[in-house]
Amino acid sequence: MKKFIHIDMDCFYAAVEMRDNPALANVPLAIGGNSRRGVLSTANYIAREYGVRSAMSNYRAKQLCPDLVIVPGRMHVYKHASEQIRAVFQRYTNLIEPLSLDEAYLDVTDSTPCHGSATLMAQQIRADIYAATGLTASAGIAPIKFIAKIASDENKPNGQFVVLPDQVDAFLAQLPLGKIPGVGKVTLEKLNLKGLYTGADVCAKGVNWMQQHVGNFGVSLYQKCAGLHIGCVSTNRVRKSLSVEHTYEYNKTNLQECLEQLPLLLEELTRRLTKQGLDQRISKLSVKVKFANFVVTSADQAYHQLDSSIFTELLSKAYQRGVQQPVRLLGIGVGVKSEPQQHVQLSILD
């Protein structure tokens, strides 16, 4: 029987800012850019009571919470805290799958601390994180990987939730499908139209019905709802793309104004590619444009290196689809090739 722990830090970026500046501890707080068009990366729990959420524009957040304090992010500080948290994980297992700076899966099936108890390990990990960083974390513990992730959200903040092996079937039966990773808003609406709302609804239909009416995703969803999808921790996550984008305080009203932003975007993309050692693994170039009416379009072309002329062509192509709509956001990016496999001479027996 597998033992998974999912650790999720509590409003991580905001928590770091509240830790470092006590004056922010009891006010509605969010992290984001200074312009009204800026987008929030996270908000503390006080702000969330007003409906403020990540990915919300500064302007909308201020409408919901006029007293909201918005501070710029300090990524180097967050990365340092994340490294401290990762060091805690490594005291308990080497099977760690980071999902972001503030959350990760741990496989503790064969771990010996805390007498091998995943529940006690989760408690101790959270205590160790607080001792090292002054930050709180929540945890989910389960014998199935994706259930651990769902469970970590059950007793937030600074809590944990355990789904024991003999509780899995009941937990999945009542589980709203929207809580399952991979079931987004649009997918959920389609499932609801077919009368599917909970794990029990999916299991009642059976795998053949799910494949016929939902497709291959229906098979995967059935396996999850039936407790057949155990999952495994992947310690080597492969990056497939890298991009940079910017939301402008004032709309760009013509193509030339958009093209003038390319050098800055290209400079940032080049810096990030070089830092991550990906500049020799480019497979395609892409451009993203979001218009003032919030319609988003993109264009891409296979290519093996950064080329400003190709980005110019792609941006011009994407811009024309807006039918003279002003532009609020521009982004450029690259596709990333997998690292080449080492060639090994096989024997005739292989």
Q: How many domains does the chain have?
A: 4
pLDDT of residue 36: 64
Which member of 103, 249, 257, 268 is catalytic?
A: 103
Q: pTM of the prediction?
A: 0.74
State whether 203 and 247 are in the same domain. Answer: no
221 and 254 share a domain? Answer: no
Report the distance separating Cα 97 and Cα 76, nearest Å.
21
Q: Per the annotation, does 8 bind a ligand? A: yes
Q: Answer yes or no: is 348 within a domain.
A: no
Beta bridge partners of 336: 282
- Residue 77, burial from CB neighbour count under 10 angstroms (0-12, 13-18, 19+): middle
For all residues of the chain together, what is the average pLDDT? 91
Based on the domain organization, do 327 and 251 belong to the same domain? yes
**Do 61 and 45 have their domain in common?**
yes
Structure confidence at residue 347 as a pLDDT band (50, 70, 90): very low
The answer on 115 and 146 residing in a single domain is: yes
pLDDT tens-digit map of 147-186: 999 999 999 999 999 999 999 999 999 999 999 988 988 8
Is the pLDDT at 350 greater than 60, yes or no? no
| Same-domain pairing of 249 and 302 | yes
231 within some domain: no
Q: Which of 190-204, 311-325, 327-341 is predicted least confidently? A: 327-341
In a domain, residue 82? The reply is no
Q: What is the pLDDT of residue 223?
A: 96
Residue 103 annotated among the catalytic residues of the structure: yes
In whole angstroms, give the CA distance from residue 59 to residue 43. Answer: 14
Backbone phi, then psi, for 349, in 5-degree steps?
-75, -20
| Residue 77, Ramachandran bin (φ over 0: left; ψ between -120 and 50: alpha; else beta) | alpha
Domain of 195 in residue numbering reads as: 168-225
Give the DSSP letter string of 2-26: --EEEEEESSHHHHHHHHH-GGGTT
Is the pLDDT at 35 greater than 90, yes or no? Answer: no
- Are 187 and 246 within one domain? no
- Both 49 and 118 in one domain: the answer is no
Minimum mean pLDDT among 111-120, 200-209, 239-248: which range? 239-248
**Of 166, 186, 210, which closes a domain?**
166
Dihedral of CA atoms 21, 25, 26, 31 in degrees, nearest 10, equals 80
Q: What is the C-alpha separation between 116 and 200, in angstroms, rounded? A: 32
Ramachandran area for residue 114 (φ above 0: left; ψ -120 to 50: alpha; else beta): left
CA distance 153 to 140: 7
What is the CATH classification number for the domain harbouring 253? 3.30.1490.100
Residue 342 located in a structural domain: no
With respect to residue 134, please indicate whether it lies within any of the assigned structural domains.
yes
